[in-house]
Amino acid sequence: MAVYALETRELTKVFKSPIRKHSLTALDRIGLTVNQGEIFGLLGPNGAGKTTFVKILLGITHPSEGCVSILGEDLSSVRVKERLGYLPENHKFPGYLTGETALNILGRLGNIHGAESRAAIESWLKRVNMYEWRAMRLKRYSKGMLQRIGLAQSLLNNPELVFLDEPTDGVDPVGRFEIRNILLEQKALGKTIFINSHLLSEVERLCDRVAILNRGKLIRIGSMADLTRATQEYRIELHEPFDASCLSTVTAEWTGARLENNWLNISVGNVADLNRVIDRLRAAAVQVVAVVPVRRSLEETFMDLIQVENPSHG
């Protein structure tokens, strides 16, 4: 039986039988834990099952077998849904509504009324920098402005857990920076944030941990530090001026060592080898300014994993 449980401290999801959509297995044997107060990222190529996964957690889509509970309650409970926030991908609001009116209606659906609603709407319109355009009809909003209103509505009810599907899609760099700060503020308040996104650079900056889905299966889960761990490559900054010919003994011993301007790029087997390189440089009267370990980007890790799973995409 498939079981999903979200407690205030952790989120656990296990599928022991596949969820089928027509002849496709949308999700198959997924198991992960999300801790309270962390920002968790869900990644995967198109068709990996990310949106299906999120919709099941929210009770929008139902698994073919099993049951789902969240925050200790069944998803049929209205009370538990009042404790959640959700920003769907490509969300649509009626274009004739103003930003303020849309938030008012959505707030009432979230059981926020009267003075509480007015205060929350005003506060969030200011926080997402949309207060100036609160009386403008949504049909005149840009994609970035709509995303800001969507984020505001997802946080309007002060949720304990918020699901964000592509929260920075169509948002300019300034907007992404502002949204990132808002989410970090929510994390500092102890809120749990679950992000589904294709923007790997944003995920890398925001998330504490990440799960990678491919073809309905969980292929990797780990902290951002684990997924972008340092390689055995280093960039050594050299103080100028220096005699490049003095580096010949270093480049001869370590295959692949190369000089780019005042940076020596080198791959070593261990820390002892790294120190031997530095000793050789000093012996050649070359001064070292900095030693920087080369880390893998999240994008590099993601692409390597997906290409292993889908060799035809390599």
Residues 153 and 27 in one domain: yes
DSSP secondary structure letter of residue 168: T
CATH classification at residue 87: 3.40.50.300
Number of domains in the chain: 2
Give me the domain span that covers residue 260.
230-295
- Asked if pLDDT for residue 251 goes beyond 90, the answer is no
97-149 confidence digits (pLDDT tens): 999 999 999 888 878 888 888 999 999 999 999 999 999 999 999 989 999 99
Q: Which amino acid is at 171?
A: V
Residues 95 and 123 in one domain: yes
Number of H helices, E strands in the chain: 11, 17
Domain end point (choices 226, 255, 272): 226
Residues 138 and 255 in one domain: no
Residue 309 lies in a domain: no
259-286 confidence digits (pLDDT tens): 888 888 888 878 888 888 888 888 888 8
CATH classification at residue 286: 3.30.70
Strands, E assignment, the chain: 3-6, 10-14, 19-21, 24-27, 31-35, 39-43, 67-70, 73-74, 84-87, 161-165, 192-196, 209-214, 217-223, 230-238, 258-260, 263-267, 288-295
Q: Distance between CA 72 and CA 75 in Å, rounded?
A: 9
Residues 65 and 197 in one domain: yes
Cα 281 from chain centre: 41
Residue 147 lies in a domain: yes
Stated as kind and residue range, the H or E segment containing 42 is: strand 39-43
Query: Quick one: what percent of the chain has pLDDT higher than 70?
Result: 86
Q: What pLDDT is attached to residue 24?
A: 64
- Give the closest residue to 15 by CA, choosing from 71, 76, 74, 66: 66
Residues 50 and 156 in one domain: yes
Residues 176 and 95 in one domain: yes
Residues 253 and 193 in one domain: no
Residue 172 lies in a domain: yes
pTM attached to this predicted model: 0.76
Domain end point (choices 168, 199, 226): 226
Residue 89 main-chain phi, psi, to 5 deg: -70, 140
